[in-house]
Every structure is written in structure tokens, then in C-alpha cells.
Amino acid sequence: MKRLRVLLIDDEFISNLIVRRYLDILGNADYVVQTNGKEALNYLNQCKVNSEFPDFIFLDLRMPIMDGFEFLEHYEKMAIAKDIKLHVLTSSLNQDDLNRARKFKSVSGYIQKPLKPNQLAEIIEQ
């Protein structure tokens, strides 16, 4: 079985720890963590060199340097955006954030933190 590649874009250490732990429990995924949108875009550009793009992206909306919305604006211009499942994973309760995130074509889903193990398993198994 092919191991999945996951890109986690989030500046919150505890949130990253939880998602990484759940991925470890699932046992079939490798992951890379980037703490802001700028780092994530740089990482995706490096992936072009060896064509090893992630299968899934989990994106927080509120981060320093480049937030999730700005990341999405750049990401949607990339050809790979149509091939990667991206889920927003955020603690924001702001309905405007939800509505704004849903306007991006590349967003497959919106998950409220804290992430539950069954949610991650359902996403990975789709």
C-alpha cells in the first residue's frame, strides 16, 4: 500500500502534535509541517523538482507571516492545486472565515479544531 504524503500548515505546536499523532496511529502517512503559508509555498515549489507533492494538505487560517487565506490565493494559481485534497483545519469560529474559505475552489473541506481521530481517518480514506 502506498504511503500517503501529508502537508500540515499550522503554527500551533499542540495542534501539529495532535495531527501528527493521529497520522502515526493510522500508520500509512508521512508528513511535513510548515508553520506559515510562505514556508508551505516554498516547500511546494521544492516538490516540483522531484514531483513528490503531498496527497493531502491541512491548512490553518490564522498564522504569522502568511495566513491561510493568502496561501490559498497563491496556491490556487499552481497547477497542482486541482490534484491535492486540501482541508482547512482551524479554531476560528468566525462565520466570515468559513464563508471566505469555501469560496476557494481548492478547499475540499472545513474542519473545526480540535480534530478528532475519526475525522482524520475519514478524510484519508476518501
3-state secondary structure of 44: helix
Per-residue model confidence as pLDDT tens for the chain (126 residues): 678 999 999 999 999 999 999 999 988 899 999 999 999 999 999 987 667 899 999 999 999 999 999 999 999 999 888 899 999 998 888 889 888 998 999 999 998 888 888 888 888 887
Per the structure, the complete domain to which residue 109 belongs is given by: 4-125
| Rounded Cα distance, 51 and 85, in Å | 16
CATH number of the domain bearing residue 60: 3.40.50.2300
Question: Strands 107-112 and 56-59: what pairing?
Answer: unpaired
| Rounded Cα distance, 112 and 18, in Å | 14
Query: How many separate domains does the chain show?
Result: 1
Contact (Cβ atoms closer than 8 angstroms) between residue 75 and residue 101:
no
